[in-house]
Structure 1
Amino acid sequence: MGFFVEYNCIGEVAGLFMSVLLLFVMLYIKPKRTYICNFIFYGNILSIIAECIQISIVIVANNPGKYYHRNLFIIQLLAFLIVYNGILFFIFAYVNMMSIVRRSQKKEFMYMYVFYSAVYIVAIIVEIASYGLYTLMIDGIDIRHFTRLYTSAGIVCAFVCLVASMFNRRDISRVTWHAVCLFAPIDLIVLILQMIYVARGFSIFSAITYAPIFMLGFLMFHNTPFDEISGSQNVHALEAYLESNMQKKKVYIAYVILKTPDVESFVSADSDAYYYGIKVCRNIEAISPKLRMYMVADCKFVNVLQEEDEKKAISAIQKIRGVMDKARVELDVPFNYTLIAGEINDEFETVLKVRQFFEFVSRKYVNQNNSQFYITKPADYDNFNQFYDISTTIRDIRLHEDMDDERVIVYAQPIYSVETGTFRSAEALMRLKVGDRIVSPDVFIPIAEMSGAIHMLTCIILNKVCKSISQFMEYYDFDSISINCSSKELSMENLNADFLEIIDRYDIEPAKIRLEVTETAMFDDYETAKKNMENLTSEGIQFYLDDFGTGYSSLERVMNCPFKTIKFDKTLLYKSLDDTRMNDILSYMIEVFKKNGFITLIEGVEDESQNQYSVDHGFDFIQGYLYAKPTPIEEIKKYFTRKSGF
């Protein structure tokens, strides 16, 4: 027996700390449990057990006089060897199961590892029979044979993982391949150093050859935004990358939206389409090493290309299109795609603006039934900047909820009563002030509806109309002022309370307010909309059916809703002047509505011939530039008759 030097196990303590920390993080944040995430979780549990056993072995080896018991020490050694084999299994399974092809070969994989484990057990038996797992010395225990035994098994596992990944290179994502190429050799080197330093430096640090693997696997593929199968990152990673690079380097975006008739069949892990989808990802990655893939939502992908040469960038984008077109031909599952590509220019100050730009451009293809490929043009950036300014203004208006917001400007156009020859009512018209520009409703209303801010704008214009009515209703004789109300708003359950609260605030009669509902936008929830209309009608508020003749509302629906006035669109008037068939149809509709008690109103009257036609066909009210142009609502009172005594 020779002179004994105590073993240093600081590496095991560090590994234990890392494993416990990882366990805490996984339990706390509850990461998405993908197929291979379980290998990390249970492998980390075994790591904690192995590290505790290993530390206890070192303590006994350094202090045999206090703690050594032959049978218990043998149990400690064998327990560690068994647990270590489990750790190697989870590492081996984790690396191999990153390949989607390997997942379909689980049975063969299990047979292979059973064989590997059998060889491992035989080696343990041979080691015990030849040298014994340890040597008891005067003041310590020599555990070099034990350490070299399991370290050899670790070296074999690391080497096999590296070789297996090389054979499966085409079936794993680039980032997975790079991770294996980086960490497997490092692991091999550390394991070899463990074999050397257990004798020379009397250090035990084998825990740092497996604990970091589980930690890095978790950080790369389950906590940070990499998907191990597709190689894509998530939207948070996209934002981080763009924030770091878009103002410093030339970056191109290829935004891909997949449209499939049955998403479930397309993404099922057992379907051929799923395997082909992985192949598509590999083919796109192969286009350029400068290409990064991100999955920002279901069936929505962003490919980011960092390329200074515009021709090379466009060529790479065309190749992405080629991959998608080839997939459409070869894949049994029918699908279409929309691919919008373009450069991120200096005008994009934020990542949000980049995302909104490509969403904005792709919106024109949302209802297309075939695949679309489009490279952005300078006009798209100009149109988007206008859209962005408007949407930003609308969001800010919605956020502040200021009923007197000066950016919402109210005009009003008088409506002429044929019977009395006077102006008895008016239509309130909204304008939006964006910077130094005044934007018309046909531009900003669709944006407000899309962003969910239309109801706030309606409440603001209602508030301003009620304020104006309260200021001059005592001095001027008029019936009402109407405001436009989105059909989507009528499906809101709180609509009645919101409108009536504003009207009550100014102590005016509800009958002074009328609501115009366009025909072109059908109710989201017809029953709720009808109920809201009936409730508001019972309070004295009348409804106009606006733009009649341009939409697709059935006459049955019109008759069943409590509309009082039918407002004919000007296109019907213009067509009827030149087309006898349209004239007959218009005359018939006017007769039917009048017979059923509706009031008829025609808009868009701009000359005397249109006016005479409208009068001759019996319209009750006429609205148009011939009589009056829209004016600031504060000035609308001059069109109304002043009450006697004032």
Structure 2
Amino acid sequence: MYIESFVEYNYIGEIAGLLLSGLLLFVMLYVRPKKTLLFKYIFNGTILSIVAILFQISIIKVANNPDQYYNKNLFGIQLISFLLVYNGILYCIFSYVNMMSVVRRNQRKEFILMYAVLSIIYVIGIIIEIAASGLYTFTLDGIDIRHFTRYYISAGIVCAVVCFIASALNRREISRITWHAVCLFVPTSLVVLIGQMIYVVKAHYIFSATTYVPIFMIGFLLFHNVPYDELSGTQSIYALDAYLMKNMGKKKIWVVYVILKTLDIENFIKKDIDSLYYGISICRNLENLSPSLRLYKMSDNKFVNILEESDPGKAKLIIQEIRGIFDKSRVDLDVPFNYTIIAGELRSETDTILKVRQFFEFISKRFIDHNSSQFYITKESDYKGFSEHYEISSVIRDIRLRENLDDERIVVYAQPIYSVGTGSFKSAEALMRLKVGDKLISPEVFIPIAESSGAIHMLTCIILNKVCRAIGSFSEYYDFDAISINCSSKELSMENLNRDFMEIIERYDIDPSKIRLEVTETAMFENYERANKNMESLSSEGIQFYLDDFGTGYSSLERVMNCPFKTIKFDKTLLYKSLHDDRMNDILSYMIEVFKKNGFITLIEGVEDESQKTYSVDRGFDYIQGYLYAKPTPIEEVKKFFNRKSSF
């Protein structure tokens, strides 16, 4: 029976929802999103959204053109199928919002049971509606599905209200960003749902897809694409970079750099639910300190807290409260952990993202070997020290990238070594300096930086190149045995070490025996087999090896004997101790005797006065190096210490 004239339903909103959900599904499949426990609700909800919209569009097509498409049984299946799929969408939204709380996750069974009861009521309502009105009626030119639409929209409103109430009751257990999202999008969804209920009656507009598709899209963008972790509320390193780029130099920003040290980070984060609860509670307590405090997660054990605060006194008070939160958690948690907290203001010395990151890494290295928890607020001297460190690091990186063996920023000095047997200087040790602007930086400062940045081998190749060039310029006219250079422990185990060194030596057509390499004991222990193989290979080319700084490392005499060393270079600390300690004197005398009996040459370094000289000569050292005999001089001038050849 026809009851009124018909106005066709406008479903442009459903088309928009279909395109949006299709795009979202495509992005999720191809951008490798962060697949947390809750990601499945976003993914499954998006697929159900596509299915529901297709059903909705087909229903509207039939309603607008019943003469062409209507079939009673098929249309009934379409309606019921949509209602069931829509219930699945509501389940995904309901679960996603509530499972953002770790407490609610512990109550998952109760929540599933509650939603099962709501679903049963929903299905019973469908049965009653079908029995009472069939969910739809005929008009003059089409099918009236307004009652059908109002029914499932009512279910959506109930779901939104329940989600908001559950989130409000659980406010302290969810992250600030999650709560803000709920406060923004649940009321917005309610407005759209109510608008749908009104407009389907007044104007026959159907846009119900816009009530659920945006929820999945916002959830994906916030928590699974880049910025936020749904449990901790922390943002990613990319979000931190974006924040710093936007606000550095415009606001007073304090950084609190946190490194957690625990026996098993997996236990702390995933396996132990009590530890997980405390971990999340730390984040909640941090957020409650100040609305200006932002949380960022760098890795499983590294976090950055950003505090916007113009008052230094208030900022330091909040930073102390951050420390208090971690101290309390250390007491409460069963999983043992320590922390390193470094806090400091961003200043002109840290005016780029790279500098910020490197500054706090630079400070944190001081505490890397500490077993206890550490708390440190940066000082004026830290910024000055970092500026020097950063400048040196930049120069070293540039040297490595340019790969110029004649780089003028590597300055080579040489310290002559005195031969006790001949009473003359027969060799020298090449010493590297780094030129940064107008300053010469000592190797004690820049070598660790070069090693940590992977540039040390390039620096060694440069000094070898310059030593070979110097040797080539005066070896024909001056009598000397060799010039030694230091070989880093990092490069002694490199597979291409022999090739790189020999290419440089052959370039200047000098005798390889004129080059000697000084290797520390520590270097031998990093990769003994590879190091020994490289040494054997270079020895076969005529290059001799010194065991440098003997007495400061951990080598056994057996290992020393088995390596192709020719010279044992005793560290100066042994000399200084032996002068005042009879036991050390006996040990040193014994070691000298053992090495000389086995054909090794002995060399002592650090001789600076007559008493040290007399002691060294009396103990039988073959060579002596120190300021008493000669100070380092530019490599080009070291020839002045050598005797001229008689043919000259």
Q: Aligning the two structures, in what range does the TM-score lie when normalised by the shorter sequence?
A: over 0.9
Q: Which residue of 1 aligns with 2:304?
A: 302
Mapped pair 1:17 → 2:19: yes
The whole-number CA distance in structure 1 between the counterparts of 2:134 and 2:264 is 63
More displaced stretch, 9-18 vs 268-277: 268-277
- Given that residues 255 and 301 in structure 1 are in contact (C-alpha distance below 8 angstroms), is that contact kept between their aligned partners in structure 2? yes
| Aligned residue runs from structure 1 range 274-293, under 5 A | 274-293=276-295
More displaced stretch, 467-476 vs 210-219: 467-476
Q: 2:422 aligns with which of 408, 420, 423?
A: 420
More displaced stretch, 555-564 vs 363-372: 555-564
CA drift at 1:520: 4.6
Q: Secondary structure at the match of 2:88?
A: helix
Q: Which residue of 1 aligns with 2:456?
A: 454
Q: Secondary structure at the match of 1:133?
A: coil
CA drift at 1:464: 1.1
CA drift at 1:476: 1.9
CA drift at 1:609: 2.6
Q: Which residue of 2 aligns with 1:633?
A: 635
CA drift at 1:492: 1.5
More displaced stretch, 547-556 vs 557-566: 547-556
Q: Which residue of 1 aligns with 2:116?
A: 114
More displaced stretch, 307-316 vs 544-553: 544-553
More displaced stretch, 39-48 vs 588-597: 588-597
Q: Which residue of 2 aligns with 1:141?
A: 143
The whole-number CA distance in structure 1 between the counterparts of 2:557 and 2:453 is 31
Q: Which residue of 1 aligns with 2:609?
A: 607
The whole-number CA distance in structure 2 between the counterparts of 1:523 and 1:586 is 23
Q: Secondary structure at the match of 2:433?
A: strand
Q: Which residue of 2 aligns with 1:44?
A: 46
The whole-number CA distance in structure 2 between the counterparts of 1:217 and 1:473 is 74
Cα deviation 1:421-452 (Å, max 9, x = unaligned): 22211110000011221100011111111111
Q: Which residue of 2 aligns with 1:53?
A: 55
Q: Secondary structure at the match of 1:297?
A: coil
The whole-number CA distance in structure 2 between the counterparts of 1:464 and 1:444 is 19
Cα deviation 1:569-613 (Å, max 9, x = unaligned): 222222323333332222222111111111011112222332222
The whole-number CA distance in structure 1 between the counterparts of 2:473 and 2:62 is 94
The whole-number CA distance in structure 2 between the counterparts of 1:543 and 1:51 is 77
| Aligned residue runs from structure 1 range 568-587, under 5 A | 568-587=570-589
Cα deviation 1:482-517 (Å, max 9, x = unaligned): 000112211112211211121122222211110001
| Aligned residue runs from structure 1 range 71-150, under 5 A | 71-150=73-152
Q: Secondary structure at the match of 2:289?
A: coil
Q: 2:395 aligns with which of 393, 396, 402?
A: 393
Mapped pair 1:514 → 2:516: yes
Q: Secondary structure at the match of 1:233?
A: coil
The whole-number CA distance in structure 2 between the counterparts of 1:210 and 1:266 is 35
- Given that residues 491 and 523 in structure 1 are in contact (C-alpha distance below 8 angstroms), is that contact kept between their aligned partners in structure 2? no
Q: Which residue of 2 aligns with 1:541?
A: 543
More displaced stretch, 273-282 vs 144-153: 273-282
Structure 2 counterpart of 1:389, one-letter code: E
- Given that residues 513 and 542 in structure 1 are in contact (C-alpha distance below 8 angstroms), is that contact kept between their aligned partners in structure 2? yes
- Given that residues 227 and 235 in structure 2 are in contact (C-alpha distance below 8 angstroms), is that contact kept between their aligned partners in structure 1? yes
Q: Which residue of 1 aligns with 2:188?
A: 186
Cα deviation 1:80-129 (Å, max 9, x = unaligned): 11111111111111111111111122211111111111111111112122
Q: Secondary structure at the match of 2:298?
A: strand
The whole-number CA distance in structure 1 between the counterparts of 2:291 and 2:266 is 31
CA drift at 1:130: 2.0
More displaced stretch, 21-30 vs 418-427: 418-427
- Given that residues 265 and 300 in structure 2 are in contact (C-alpha distance below 8 angstroms), is that contact kept between their aligned partners in structure 1? no
- Given that residues 42 and 216 in structure 2 are in contact (C-alpha distance below 8 angstroms), is that contact kept between their aligned partners in structure 1? yes
Mapped pair 1:595 → 2:593: no
- Given that residues 516 and 543 in structure 1 are in contact (C-alpha distance below 8 angstroms), is that contact kept between their aligned partners in structure 2? yes
- Given that residues 488 and 523 in structure 1 are in contact (C-alpha distance below 8 angstroms), is that contact kept between their aligned partners in structure 2? no
Structure 2 counterpart of 1:230, one-letter code: S
More displaced stretch, 503-512 vs 374-383: 503-512
Structure 1 counterpart of 2:589, one-letter code: S
The whole-number CA distance in structure 2 between the counterparts of 1:137 and 1:510 is 102
Cα deviation 1:465-493 (Å, max 9, x = unaligned): 11111222222221111000112211112
Structure 2 counterpart of 1:333, one-letter code: V
The whole-number CA distance in structure 2 between the counterparts of 1:522 and 1:499 is 19
Structure 2 counterpart of 1:541, one-letter code: I
Structure 2 counterpart of 1:456, one-letter code: M
Q: Which residue of 2 aligns with 1:160?
A: 162
The whole-number CA distance in structure 2 between the counterparts of 1:513 and 1:312 is 61
Per the alignment, do residues 274 and 481 of structure 1 end up closer, same or farther by CA in structure 2, a change over 3 Å counting? same
- Given that residues 490 and 523 in structure 1 are in contact (C-alpha distance below 8 angstroms), is that contact kept between their aligned partners in structure 2? no
Q: 1:384 aligns with which of 369, 383, 386?
A: 386
Q: Secondary structure at the match of 2:349?
A: coil
The whole-number CA distance in structure 2 between the counterparts of 1:267 and 1:498 is 46
Where does the alignment leave 5 or more consecutive residues of structure 1 unmatched? Answer: none
Structure 2 counterpart of 1:464, one-letter code: K
The whole-number CA distance in structure 2 between the counterparts of 1:524 and 1:400 is 28
| Aligned residue runs from structure 1 range 546-561, under 5 A | 546-561=548-563
Per the alignment, do residues 522 and 320 of structure 1 end up closer, same or farther by CA in structure 2, a change over 3 Å counting? farther
Q: Secondary structure at the match of 1:5?
A: coil
- Given that residues 543 and 564 in structure 1 are in contact (C-alpha distance below 8 angstroms), is that contact kept between their aligned partners in structure 2? yes
CA drift at 1:208: 0.2
Q: Which residue of 2 aligns with 1:469?
A: 471
Q: Which residue of 2 aligns with 1:174?
A: 176
More displaced stretch, 16-25 vs 465-474: 465-474
Where does the alignment leave 5 or more consecutive residues of structure 2 unmatched? Answer: none
CA drift at 1:59: 1.5
The whole-number CA distance in structure 2 between the counterparts of 1:270 and 1:454 is 43
Q: Which residue of 2 aligns with 1:314?
A: 316
CA drift at 1:522: 5.0
% identical equivalent positions: 71
- Given that residues 406 and 462 in structure 2 are in contact (C-alpha distance below 8 angstroms), is that contact kept between their aligned partners in structure 1? yes
Structure 2 counterpart of 1:185, one-letter code: P
| Aligned residue runs from structure 1 range 523-534, under 5 A | 523-534=525-536
CA drift at 1:531: 1.3
Q: Which residue of 1 aligns with 2:351?
A: 349
The whole-number CA distance in structure 2 between the counterparts of 1:360 and 1:393 is 17
Number of aligned residues: 646
| Aligned residue runs from structure 1 range 126-275, under 5 A | 126-275=128-277
The whole-number CA distance in structure 2 between the counterparts of 1:70 and 1:598 is 103
Structure 1 counterpart of 2:119, one-letter code: S
Structure 2 counterpart of 1:298, one-letter code: D
Structure 2 counterpart of 1:532, one-letter code: N
The whole-number CA distance in structure 2 between the counterparts of 1:521 and 1:476 is 33
The whole-number CA distance in structure 2 between the counterparts of 1:190 and 1:534 is 79
Mapped pair 1:489 → 2:459: no
CA drift at 1:276: 1.2
Structure 2 counterpart of 1:557, one-letter code: R
Cα deviation 1:292-330 (Å, max 9, x = unaligned): 111112211111100111111111111110011101111
Q: 1:4 aligns with which of 6, 27, 45?
A: 6
- Given that residues 15 and 208 in structure 1 are in contact (C-alpha distance below 8 angstroms), is that contact kept between their aligned partners in structure 2? yes
The whole-number CA distance in structure 1 between the counterparts of 2:604 and 2:480 is 19
Structure 1 counterpart of 2:592, one-letter code: I
- Given that residues 190 and 209 in structure 1 are in contact (C-alpha distance below 8 angstroms), is that contact kept between their aligned partners in structure 2? yes
- Given that residues 568 and 602 in structure 1 are in contact (C-alpha distance below 8 angstroms), is that contact kept between their aligned partners in structure 2? yes
The whole-number CA distance in structure 1 between the counterparts of 2:538 and 2:636 is 26
Q: Which residue of 2 aligns with 1:373?
A: 375
Cα deviation 1:325-384 (Å, max 9, x = unaligned): 101111111111111111111222211101111111111111111111111110111111
Q: Which residue of 1 aligns with 2:332?
A: 330
Structure 1 counterpart of 2:215, one-letter code: I
Q: What is the TM-score normalised by the length of structure 2? A: 0.98
- Given that residues 524 and 531 in structure 2 are in contact (C-alpha distance below 8 angstroms), is that contact kept between their aligned partners in structure 1? no
Structure 2 counterpart of 1:221, one-letter code: F
- Given that residues 414 and 636 in structure 1 are in contact (C-alpha distance below 8 angstroms), is that contact kept between their aligned partners in structure 2? yes
The whole-number CA distance in structure 2 between the counterparts of 1:262 and 1:221 is 25
CA drift at 1:222: 0.3
More displaced stretch, 52-61 vs 374-383: 52-61
Q: Secondary structure at the match of 2:306?
A: strand
